[in-house]
Structure 1
Amino acid sequence: MTETPRTGDRLVSVIVPVYNAGSFLERTISSIQKQTHRELEIILVDDGSTDGSGELCDSLAEKDSRIIVVHQRNSGIAAAQNAGLERAHGEFITFCDNDDLMAPRLVQRLLSALIENAADMSCCRWRNPGASTAEAEMHAHADDPPGPTLIIDDPAQAYQRVFSLAHRRLAAAELRYFSEANWGKLYRASLWRSVRFPEGRYAQDVAVSLDLYLQMRRVASLADALYYWIQRPQSVSHRTKQTQYFRDIVRAHGRVFELSLQAGIVPARAYGGLMTLRLERRSVRTAEDERLFEDDARYVKSLLRRLTLRQRILCSAFFSLRRVETAVYRLTIHRRQ
């Protein structure tokens, strides 16, 4: 697939929240600079880094006029993403974590698929290599031919219904699956006009997911694995969790749960998120933790009462299957180096 005049002059804003990215930041930004689609606005939001990452952003901006650097005091990833959205001028928007990699044709393929199919969003698959092998793996797949593209006309329904790996495999529904993250996706900028991430909270991407999907009429889902998601033991998602962390997850999924029911969608995925309550219970250490947990327990109970018996059985079955898959995942993917 080659770039055509229809896509070559369309500006794409790439938002990268940056916080103490260390030695990984430069190769991340390099992977964005090497995109075959050249009409980019690369917005690096330095969220109060203390390891020299902010200075590196400034240095790279001096060499590439497409790079815009925003410095702010440390306020969290949601605030950094929002700052990027405020500065974005592109007709289309994508995100990249500050230690991941984008295959050279990621933007080109997503943009072509989005425009050719009159979609509101396009998305690709991803690979999950260890940090030490990511670049080699990306180079090894550099010449992979384009795969099929699936057009999804009910993205909010797909997001809530298709998330179990076993279900995806048995029903041949992999391309109807959306990750919780905002990376690996290209959005029409108009989707973000009234949507911003809740600041100071975890699971900020989950919290806005249905706000976005309910606006979409069509999504182009590519089989191509073009994003390299690199997990590390020191990342936030792998650290010891406090009660507030789990509370944020429960509340984010609670919002999605309510929006799903309002739209007539069975909130199967959100139900699984609400079950994070059991982890919140285990995290209780103080009287304040206990208060937060009891408040969330009441909240979850009130939401579950709104399910019909059929909906509850369906949600519970998907959740049980997902728990098994998550256990396997933690024993494999999280151990990669």
Structure 2
Amino acid sequence: MLIIPKVSIIIPVYNGEQFLERCLESVSSQTYKNIEIIIINDGSTDNTKNICELYLQKEPRARVIHKKNGGVSISRNIGLDLAIGEYIYFVDADDYVLQNGIERLVNKAIRNLADLVVAEYYVAYDTKKTKISPLNIKKSNDFLCSILSGKNHSALWNKLFSRRLFDEIKFPADVCYIEDKVLISQILMTYQPKIDFLNAPVYVYWQYEQSVTNSNDRRVMDILAAHINIESYLDEFTVDENIRTAFASSTYSCLWFILTTVDKQFLEEAVIIAKQHIEDMRKYRKYSALSPKVRFLLLSLKLPVGIAIPAIKTMRKGLDQLSSARRQARR
């Protein structure tokens, strides 16, 4: 008997009028037909609501939820609560799915009894598309190390999930940036799912200047919140030294990035959060070979906030001057 499981496709959107129609059309035109399409309009203030309502009139497999703005994690959780499919697939509203993407993912999952299928994808910028092939790592702990270290992308849209992986896990409501890294880390630690890889692209991830989080955006500090969430799961679910090493290296690199790039209006808040996080990270210190620059940063964070902030500002000024000198030297 031919098995045709339902796939729940969850699409959160906020002010997505520029690309939403392209995204929805790519989902409707999938060669795999047994899908439900759950669109969560997260309090958009542009024409997104009208686009969604028009889409409903021509797509009977779709449902739309209009809600107050609360962030992508809450939107996806609403989608998970509504989903009835045996598989879950997430799409971002400014990207699109290749026409046979869902079919290829489902076939791979069924054929190899996989709980999580990871596929190739394209990164697009202007007219250029580059195919990305994830590292084929099938053991859960090793795959988690690759996610924590950044060797494999934590993005959701190149992955098909078995519905059971969300029985006890949801997106962290307080994290709206790299929330996918938190979720996948929790899934891998909790369920140790069977992982398989699809050597074919299923998705086109568009990069736009306005869509990239920058240092002026307070969301960059969600990186700290994300690592705090992951740490709580590490303490509960694993003693694997490779995972702890990957986590420690990732955390210290992120601390450096945040405190040297976050806009100065958020620096004090970032320092206060980082100081607490560093205390919680003491038990991981032995797992990471700290560079001199990170050691200096950690020493600065040991100081009272009123002294730590000027020290970090001085360090940032020195880094800016060094970068400027290097740019001049290359001319």
Corresponding residue to 1:204 among 179, 186, 189: 179
1:42-121 equivalences under 5 Å are 42-121=37-116
- 1:224 counterpart = 2:219: no
Other-structure match for 1:256:
230
Give the Cα–Cα distance (whole angstroms) in 2 for the partners of residues 284 and 240 of structure 1.
Answer: 5
The alpha-carbon distance between structure 1 residues 298 and 235, as it changes in their structure 2 partners (threshold 3 A), is: same
Judging changes above 3 Å, is the alpha-carbon distance between structure 1 residues 204 and 164 closer, same or farther for their aligned structure 2 residues? closer
Distance 1:55 1:209 in 2: 33
- Higher-Rg structure is 2
1:305 aligned onto 2:283: yes
User: 1:298 Cα deviation (Å)?
Assistant: 3.6
Among residues 12, 23, 27, which one is paired with 1:28 in the alignment?
23
C-alpha change, 1:249 and 1:290, in structure 2 (3 Å) is same
After superposition, the Cα gap between the structure-2 partners of 1:279 and 1:268, relative to the gap in structure 1 and judged at 3 Å, is: same
CA distance in 2, matches of 1:21, 1:178: 27
One-letter code aligned to 1:290: E
Which of 225, 235, 251 is the equivalent residue of 2:211? Answer: 235
> What is the match of residue 324 of structure 2?
none
Report the 3-state secondary structure (helix = DSSP H, G, I; strand = E; otherwise coil) of the residue aligned with 2:12: strand
Distance 2:27 2:96 in 1: 8
Paired with 1:232 and 1:149, the residues of 2 have a C-alpha distance of: 25
Distance 1:159 1:238 in 2: 26
Structure 1's 149 and 117: CA in aligned 2 closer, same or farther, altered over 3 A?
A: farther
1:134-185: per-residue Cα shift (whole Å, max 9, x none)?
Answer: 6xx99xxxxxxxx999571x223322146768xxxxxxxxxxx641111111
Query: Which residue of the partner structure matches residue 129 of structure 1?
Result: 124
After superposition, the Cα gap between the structure-2 partners of 1:50 and 1:251, relative to the gap in structure 1 and judged at 3 Å, is closer
Supply the distance in 2 between the matched residues of 1:161 and 1:30 (Cα, whole angstroms): 33
Match of 1:293 in 2: 271
CA apart distance, 1:290: 1.9
Superposition CA RMSD, Å: 2.9
Matching residue's letter, 1:228 = V
Of 255-264 and 75-84, the range deviating more from structure 2: 255-264
TM-score by length of 1: 0.75
Aligned pair in 2 of structure 1 residues 162, 193: CA closer, same or farther (>3 Å)? Answer: closer
Partner of 1:331: none
Paired residues, number: 284
Distance 2:232 2:252 in 1: 12
The change in CA–CA distance for 1:190 and 1:277 in structure 2 (over 3 A counts) is same
Q: Secondary structure at the match of 1:237?
A: coil
TM-score, normalising length from structure 2? 0.76
CA distance change for structure 1 residues 48 and 122 in 2, over 3 Å: closer, same or farther?
Answer: same
- What's the % identity of the aligned pairs? 25
Distance 1:151 1:116 in 2: 18
User: Match for residue 328 of structure 2?
Assistant: none
User: Which of 221, 226, 235 is matched with 1:247 structurally?
Assistant: 221
Q: Please give the secondary structure, in 1, of the residue aligned with 2:113.
A: coil
Q: Which has the higher contact order (CA 8 A, sep 6+)?
A: 1
